[in-house]
Amino acid sequence: MDIGTTLTRFLIEQQRHLPGATGTFTALLEEIAIAAKIVGREVNKAGLAKTMGLTGRTNIHGEAVQALDDFANWTIIRALDHTGLLAAMASEEMEEVFPIPEHHPRGPYVLVFDPVDGSSNIDVNVSIGTIFSIYRCADPEHPQVSDFLRRGREQLCAGYVIDSYSPILVYTTGSGVHGFTLDPTIGEFLLSHEDLQIPTQATIYSVNEARSPTWDPRVRGYVDGLKGTGRSARYIGSLVADFHRNLLKGGIFLYPAEVRAPNGKLRLVYEANPLAFIIEQAGGSASTGHTRILDVRPESLHERVPLVIGSPQDVAEFEAALRAPQEQQV
């Protein structure tokens, strides 16, 4: 009986079309998939296990660190630190870069990730996920934070895993966007969404409207203009889950700049950039409202960026709204 195409088989087949491909991404993505399955197992029993609740600590962003944030962070590090494929890792939950320890071989890439995106949803059984991105390392013997402060257009690979009743891993290496759904009976991610393309126009918009008093009036005008157009409002509070639904159905996700937070809330390096690489490969767009996300040069590992991402027509309309003169509030 044909079980379908496993992630490994698909990666090997893809590798054949990539000149000079060495199989490194195959090994990296396989290890990431294993880490994701381990995290997913904890998520599935989080309600019963110790991996729920708060650690009592706050991270560099001043946000409460959930036990699962910590667990997922170190699960990913332990899954990849011995592979000889990476020189260093960085994550939302670590202030500094984590160089691969001397007793492990180093490799030519660096991995940056958000171990649990949507942490506030862990204890209410709403979908959460892991977002990751891979860059080349300039000097694997001396990895630097500068290896992570690359423009998003320099990414070699980006992806995410969503922990839901049907876990899915989605990735791109620049040759389209492909989704793999976990078959729990065999513990394998099987190809379920080959060459995903986002619908040109959104049918859904995702934004936390409670924040609207803090927005530029033109943003408020744009969002108000979406109402009564037949679109649906959907907001899960896990970027990766909102993103994935919009990718499949056509949608626009917005976390705009705010009066007191001109760079918005979401992080450029391990939230906006990986999803921007994916959405452009799927025919969509990702912007700060003024600039293509993949062209923004990060100044620091944890910097934030306003994000509007999804169907290309809607992102273009948002950017046009922000170009209107301030006094002519849209």
CB 176 within 8 A of CB 281: yes
**Alpha-carbon separation of residue 115 from 68, 71, 129, 312 (angstroms):** 9, 9, 7, 28
Between CA 103 and CA 319 the distance in angstroms is 49
Q: Where are the alpha helices (DSSP H) in the chain?
A: 7-16, 24-44, 67-80, 217-226, 239-249, 273-281, 312-323
Nearer to ligand AHG, 7 or 315 (CB): 315
Of 114-122, 144-152, 175-183, 192-200, the window that binds ligand AHG (rule: CB under 6 A) is 114-122
Between CA 228 and CA 328 the distance in angstroms is 22
Nearer to ligand AHG, 181 or 214 (CB): 214
Identify the CA nearest to 252 among candidates 214, 225, 218, 217: 225
Q: Does 58 bind ligand AHG (CB under 6 A)?
A: no
Q: Does 319 bind Mn ion (CB under 5 A)?
A: no
Q: Does 118 bind ligand AHG (CB under 6 A)?
A: yes
Between CA 306 and CA 288 the distance in angstroms is 5
Nearer to Mn ion, 107 or 256 (CB): 256
Q: Does 4 bind ligand AHG (CB under 6 A)?
A: no
Q: Does 238 bind ligand AHG (CB under 6 A)?
A: yes
- Which of 117, 147, 242, 258 touches Mn ion by CB under 5 A? 117
The residue with its CB nearest to Mn ion is 117
Nearer to Mn ion, 116 or 196 (CB): 116
Nearer to Mn ion, 114 or 319 (CB): 114
**Alpha-carbon separation of residue 243 from 17, 61, 131, 277 (angstroms):** 29, 22, 11, 13
Least distance to Mn ion from the beta carbon of 96, Å? 17
Q: Does 208 bind ligand AHG (CB under 6 A)?
A: yes
Token duo for residue 186:
């065999």
Q: Does 258 bind ligand AHG (CB under 6 A)?
A: no
Q: Does 247 bind ligand AHG (CB under 6 A)?
A: no
Q: How many residues bind ligand AHG (CB under 6 A)?
A: 11
- Which of 119, 246, 281, 287 touches ligand AHG by CB under 6 A? 119
Query: Which amino acid appears at position 31 of this protein?
Result: E
- SS3 at position 122: helix
Of 70-78, 84-92, 103-111, 320-328, the window that binds Mn ion (rule: CB under 5 A) is 84-92
Query: Which amino acid appears at position 184 of this protein?
Result: P
CB 114 within 8 A of CB 162: no
Of 97-105, 157-165, 212-220, 234-242, the window that binds ligand AHG (rule: CB under 6 A) is 234-242
Between CA 246 and CA 265 the distance in angstroms is 20
Q: Does 114 bind ligand AHG (CB under 6 A)?
A: yes
Q: Indicate which of Mn ion, ligand AHG, none lies near residue 76 (CB less than 5 to 8 Å, by partner kind).
A: none
Q: Does 92 bind Mn ion (CB under 5 A)?
A: yes
Identify the CA nearest to 205 among candidates 237, 235, 176, 173: 235
Least distance to Mn ion from the beta carbon of 23, Å? 30
Between CA 234 and CA 71 the distance in angstroms is 29
Query: Residue numbers of the site for ligand AHG (CB under 6 A)?
Result: 63, 92, 114, 117-119, 208, 237-239, 265
Binding site for Mn ion (CB under 5 A): 92, 114, 116-117
